[in-house]
Amino acid sequence: MRRSSRAGLTLGETLVASAVMALLGTILARTYTLAYRSYQMNIGKLEVQQRSRTALQRITPILYAAIPTSNSAGQLQPAILEPAVGPPPKSEIRFRVPVEPVDPRAPVYQIQRIWLEHGAVRLDRNTPSDSQDDRVLCQGLDALEFLVLSDSTIQITARARVPHYRSGEFHESRLQTMVQLPFKAMR
């Protein structure tokens, strides 16, 4: 018999090549899906950590302004009014700061408050009873705790969580910092 000069693949070779290509495509698709899920999970973790970090970065400098005062008898009054020293931690802190501009001869003080309300960390600078002047420091927290360890040391814990991409689980972040108030007192 005479062979033709045209080369080609048989049906069996074509089926084997198609099966190998389908297997490789399946492996690549699965790898892409796993990589995408991992990416989404890491994005969620970063978002949660950023929320907690932002809260702590915005609260800390405000607390540095807290100042102990001395009363008319010369006794030192603590800068932190609430919560009291020791456990349990509270989700609100009240502290005394001087009113700007500061006159060292006759300083005037105001009470400020930082608290968590419906996921938003709020700062009330002037009037604790008036919510119109509240300032939102950050949003997206689930818990905020202040633990006063001494008259000048405060431990702040911020917790946030976001739902995981396409699952019922949550990414959770818990960051903690210590704030050491500078010791300065004014009459």
Q: What is the mean pLDDT of residues 136-155?
A: 90
What is the pLDDT at residue 79? Answer: 87
Q: What would the two tokens of residue 33 be? A: 């899906």
pLDDT tens readout for residues 172-182: 888 899 999 88
Task: Indicate the pTM of the whole model.
Answer: 0.73
Residue pair 69/186 in contact by the 8 Å Cβ criterion: yes
Q: Which amino acid is at 66?
A: A
What is the pLDDT at residue 187? Answer: 47
Q: Where are the domains of the chain?
A: 45-180
pLDDT tens readout for residues 75-129: 888 889 899 888 899 999 999 888 888 887 888 888 899 999 988 999 986 655 5
Whether the pLDDT of residue 139 is over 80: the answer is: yes
Instruction: Identify the residue with better confidence: 126 or 137.
Output: 137
Residue 24 to residue 20: CA distance in whole angstroms:
6
| Sequence-distant contacts of 101-106: CB under 8 A, at least 24 apart | 102/186, 104/186
